[in-house]
Amino acid sequence: MKSLEELKAIREKARAGMGIREGGDDAVRVVVGMATCGIAAGARPVLSAFVEEVAKEKLDVQVGQTGCIGICQYEPVVEIFDPKGEKTTYVKMTPERAVTVVHKHLKGGEIVTEYTIGAIGK
């Protein structure tokens, strides 16, 4: 170890992924429905897409799973909670849609209306 810069570089690299252990109450939470119905409908690749894209964009977002919320016909279902607890529900998600949601909603703050239950459920 010869300089502070060198330590900083190691720290940055080591920090990647450690955020998982710090998810405070003020972080945005993405919750993917991972019950039998969700998994059968393809929720696992959706979950992975969220995890990877959030890490790639270095966002302060907690990605987790939940069980079945009772709308199995719309799986994979993804709910996004903002720090105030306001919820957006995305349905019939795919990994590609997940990437779009990360960029537009989580990064840009703009809800992707066409994927929400309000648009698709009609």
Partner 1 sequence: MIRSHVLVCGGTGCTSSGSEEIITSLEKNLDKAGLTEEVKVVKTGCFGLCALGPIMIVYPEGTFYSMVKPNDISEIVQEHLLKGRIVTRLVYDETVKDDEITSLEETDFYKKQKRVALRNCGVINPEDINEYIAFDGYQALGKVLTEMTPEQVIQTIKDSGLRGRGGAGFPTGLKWGFAAAQPKGQKYVCCNADEGDPGAFMDRSVLEGDPHALIEAMAIAGYAIGADKGFVYVRAEYPIAVRRLQIAVDQAREMGLLGTNIFGADFSFDLELRLGAGAFVCGEETALMTSIEGHRGEPRPRPPFPAVKGLFGMPTVLNNVETYANVPRIILLGADWFASMGTEKSKGTKVFALGGKITNTGLVEIPMGTTLREIIEEIGGGIPGGKAFKAAQTGGPSGGCIPAKHFDIPIDYDNLISIGSMMGSGGMIVMDEDNCMVDIAKFFLDFTVDESCGKCAPCRIGTKRLHEMLDRITKGQGKPGDLDKIEKLCYYIKENALCGLGQTAPNPVLSTIRHFREEYEAHINQKKCPCAVCKDLLDIEILPDKCIGCTVCSKVCPTNAISGEVKKTHVIDQSKCVKCGACIEKCRFSAIVKR
Residue numbers of the site for partner 1 (CB under 8 A)? 1-4, 7, 10-11, 13-15, 17-18, 20-21, 23, 25, 31-36, 39, 47-48, 51-52, 55, 62-67
Nearer to partner 1, 4 or 122 (CB): 4
Indicate left, alpha or beta for 63 from its phi (over 0: left) and psi (-120 to 50: alpha).
beta
Shortest approach of partner 1 to residue 44 CB, angstroms?
9
Nearer to partner 1, 60 or 110 (CB): 60
Residue pair 51/98 in contact by the 8 Å Cβ criterion: no
User: In angstroms, rounded to a whole number, what is the distance separating the alpha carbons of residues 86 and 19?
Assistant: 22
User: In angstroms, rounded to a whole number, what is the distance separating the alpha carbons of residues 51 and 44?
Assistant: 11
Shortest approach of partner 1 to residue 16 CB, angstroms?
9
Shortest approach of partner 1 to residue 25 CB, angstroms?
8
CA 104 to chain centre: 12
Shortest approach of partner 1 to residue 58 CB, angstroms?
14
